[in-house]
């Protein structure tokens, strides 16, 4: 077994599928010859991932409405979440890519790691079937699923705002302290959240964290990024 196969606990019958799942599109571009890359497997793996997570949530969160189930699924399959799973497998070190892509930090890039993780799911599905892919997905996401079971309706305004904005632009929102007033034991903090030069929201709290959360919540309500030209 290859080191990656040992990490995931699965031996591929068709090793070419694994190689394809770990080949970045930049390799063909740089070599100026066609190499199968992970893009098609990523397309398949994304669909398999959505199915497995949707089925799991449907069966295990019976009290949640459709809207809440959609939010929970979005948290589990966000690009940042998939990057974290890829990083836990050290997936970046196994990806074949062009020298230029590697020199520009491709092995750590969120999009690359998330895409390769989905491609790996696609390869597992083709090589071993849905049950193999399901076992891999649920094993990799066990901690996240257990956390959801404990706090299924947990509201995370800062996380939700970041996911929304990063679907538009790679730039993350920044939280800035506007003011802090009052005696040391009873301070009041005011923070604002800024993204691409736009103040999206402002909030007040007894701690910086509370103020930032309130600012994110206001930003989600106002959605000012949709109103910019």
The reply to whether 35 and 141 lie within a common domain is: yes
Could you tell me if 144 and 165 lie in one domain?
no
Mean pLDDT (whole number) for 27-38: 75
Same domain, 16 and 76: yes
Query: How many structural domains are present in the chain?
Result: 2
Last residue of a domain, one of 135, 150, 165: 150
CATH code for the domain of 169: 3.30.160.20
Q: Which residues are catalytic?
A: 46, 118
Q: What pLDDT, in 10s, does the model give residues 62-109? A: 777 787 788 888 888 988 889 999 999 999 999 988 888 878 887 888
For the segment 90-101, what is each residue's pLDDT rounded down to a tens digit? 999 999 888 888
Alpha helices, DSSP H only, in 129-193?
Answer: 130-140, 142-150, 157-166
Q: Residue 110's pLDDT band (boundaries 50, 70, 90)?
A: confident
| Same domain as 164, residue 125 | no
In which band, very low, low, confident or very high, does the pLDDT at 206 lie, cut at 50, 70 and 90? confident
Supply the CATH number for residue 22's domain. Answer: 1.10.1520.10
User: What is the structure's pLDDT at 105?
Assistant: 80
Q: Write the CB contacts of 147 (distance below 8 Å, at least 6 apart in sequence).
A: none
Q: Where is 203: in which H helix or E strand?
A: strand 198-205
Average pLDDT, the chain: 87
Identify the domain containing residue 169 by its residue range.
157-226
Mean pLDDT, rounded, for 173-180: 94
Task: Judge if 79 and 187 occupy the same domain.
Answer: no
């Amino acid at each position: 077994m290859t080191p990656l196969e040992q990490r995931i606990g699965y031996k591929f019958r068709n090793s070419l599928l694994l190689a394809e799942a770990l080949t970045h599109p930049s390799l063909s571009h740089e070599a100026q010859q066609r190499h199968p890359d992970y893009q098609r497997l990523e397309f398949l793996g994304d669909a398999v991932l959505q199915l497995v997570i949707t089925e799991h949530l449907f069966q295990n969160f019976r009290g949640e409405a459709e809207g809440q189930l959609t939010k929970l699924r979005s948290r589990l399959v966000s690009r940042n979440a998939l990057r974290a799973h890829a990083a836990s497998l050290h997936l970046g070190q196994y990806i074949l890519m062009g020298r230029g892509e590697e020199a520009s930090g491709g092995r750590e890039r969120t999009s690359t790691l998330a895409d390769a993780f989905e491609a790996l799911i696609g390869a597992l599905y083709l090589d071993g079937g849905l049950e193999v892919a399901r076992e891999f997905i649920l094993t990799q996401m066990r901690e996240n699923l257990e956390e959801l079971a404990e706090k299924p309706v947990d509201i995370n305004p800062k996380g939700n705002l970041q996911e929304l904005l990063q679907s538009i632009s790679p730039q993350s929102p920044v939280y800035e302290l506007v003011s802090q007033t009052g005696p040391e034991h009873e301070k009041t903090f005011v923070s604002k959240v800024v993204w691409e030069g736009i103040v999206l929201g402002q909030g007040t709290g007894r701690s910086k964290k509370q103020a930032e959360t309130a600012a994110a919540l206001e930003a989600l309500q106002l959605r000012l990024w949709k109103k910019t030209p």
